[in-house]
Amino acid sequence: MTNHVTIVGSLNVDTTMKVKRMPLPGETIAALSKTNAAGGKGANQAVAAARSGAETAFVGQVGDDAGGKMMINDLKNNNVDTTGIHVDDQAGTGSAAILLDESGQNSILVYGGANQQLSVKEVEDARDQIAAADFVIAQFETPQEATLRAFQIAKENGVKTILNPAPAHEINPDLLKLTDLIIPNETESAALTGIIITDETSMLMSAAKFAQMGVRNLIITVGAKGAFYCTQDGYNFIPAFKVNAVDTTAAGDTFIGALSSQLKPDMSNIEKAIVYAQRASSLAVQKLGALPSIPTYDEVVAASKNN
């Protein structure tokens, strides 16, 4: 059965500059190369879901500019339904400036632009795409008011909700109560719960804290180490695949999008879905760029057979 996934999120044009090392404060260094590509957490997650076989729709906003046209075309070319994307004639399309060093680590500056103008109205206009989904996914690169309305519509229609609280900041408690699955990385988890992730005990404490806030299903991604999950049916830590990372920009987004393509709405196959998502993420970090690095279902399956 094919999953239907609707993403409510951000669309950014990424400019990546490769550097030997990160500059120190006040220091000017030469960039080794510069590339432009479609990105944004929302777009990355949508493309990851679509390339892994999910029927994918997008709810978001771009500016009336060349970057906006590029974003819509790139999503269409990846079989993402873009009818829920509005064009804002006031704000420019979101953008990100990414510094990428030789070890594959990055620092990112994000300009929200039209992403920050996404409102309840645009979400209401996309009610049909939200109601028809198996999963609705949102992040924090668009306003929480829009996400809250999207999750309300989802719950009214029996749709499961996935929240990626990135970048981490204060969350509306009502939004957490409407979240079926929350997927932070270890830094975001600590920012939201106050519990530093060091071992399994701290992860279980974090799961208990999120449950107190209203979210009963949790996945914490821990970079190259793997991912911890905790649901009402159990918990486990699943190690990541060992690879040589070139660019980690879209690692977490690839994980979430790929996961949503495979996860059953009742989450009964969560461990199997996490393994698939980790394989997809391990392939993404071996290539440059956000969208260009995201693998297809066939590529993930082929990599699984080769290892």
Total residues belonging to the chain: 307
Strand partners, 109: 97
60 is in an annotated binding site: no
pLDDT band at residue 307 under the 50/70/90 scheme: low
Q: Reply yes or no: is the peptide bond before residue 239 cis, omega within 30 of 0.
A: no
Of 227, 202, 207, 205, give the one whose Cα is nearest residue 217.
207
Q: What is the mean pLDDT of the chain?
A: 94
pLDDT band at residue 170, thresholds of 50, 70 and 90? confident
The answer to whether 39 is annotated as binding is no
Mean pLDDT of 81-98: 94
The structure tokens listed for 209 are 């804290």
pTM above 0.75, yes or no: yes
Dist CA 126 CA 284 (whole Å): 30
Burial of 228 (0-12, 13-18, 19+ CB in 10 A): buried
List the structure tokens of 43. 């777009």
Mean pLDDT confidence for 23-42 = 92
Distance CA(130)–CA(119), nearest Å, equals: 15
- Evaluated on CA atoms 263, 226, 284, 276, the torsion sign reads negative
Q: Supply the pLDDT for residue 1.
A: 78
- Residue 174 marked ligand-binding: no
200 contact partners, CB below 8 Å, separation of at least 6: 228, 237
Query: Which of the residue ranges 60-64, 101-105, 123-127, 139-143 would you say has the lowest mean pLDDT?
Result: 101-105
In the chain, beta strands by DSSP E: 4-8, 12-18, 33-39, 55-63, 80-88, 94-100, 106-111, 135-138, 160-163, 181-182, 218-222, 226-231, 234-239
DSSP H helical ranges for 157-199: 173-177, 186-193
pLDDT (mean) for 56-80: 96
Is the Cβ–Cβ distance between 71 and 82 less than 8 Å? Answer: no
For residues 95 and 306, the model is more confident at: 95
Catalytic site residue from 101, 134, 253, 298:
253
Residue 224 is predicted with a pLDDT of 85
247 is in an annotated binding site: yes
| Tokens read off for 301 | 């399956």
Angle between helical axes of 200-213 and 186-193 (0-180°, round to 10) = 50
Whole-number pLDDT of residue 253: 95
C-alpha distances out from residue 70 to 48, 67, 242, 279, Å: 18, 5, 34, 28
Query: CA 252 → CA 29, 184, 295, distances in Å?
Result: 28, 9, 13
199 part of the active site: no
Q: How far apart are CA 62 and CA 71, in angstroms?
A: 8
Mean pLDDT of the 153-171 span: 94
CA distance 231 to 267: 8
Amino acid at 219: I
Give me the amino acid identity at 36.
N
Sketch out the chain's domains with CATH numbers: 4-306 (3.40.1190.20)
pLDDT value at residue 292: 82
Q: The dihedral of CA 175, 178, 184, 189: what is its sign?
A: positive
Burial (CB count within 10 angstroms: exposed 0-12, middle 13-18, buried 19+), residue 286: middle
* Residue 224 annotated as part of some ligand binding site: yes
Tokens of 41: 């957490």
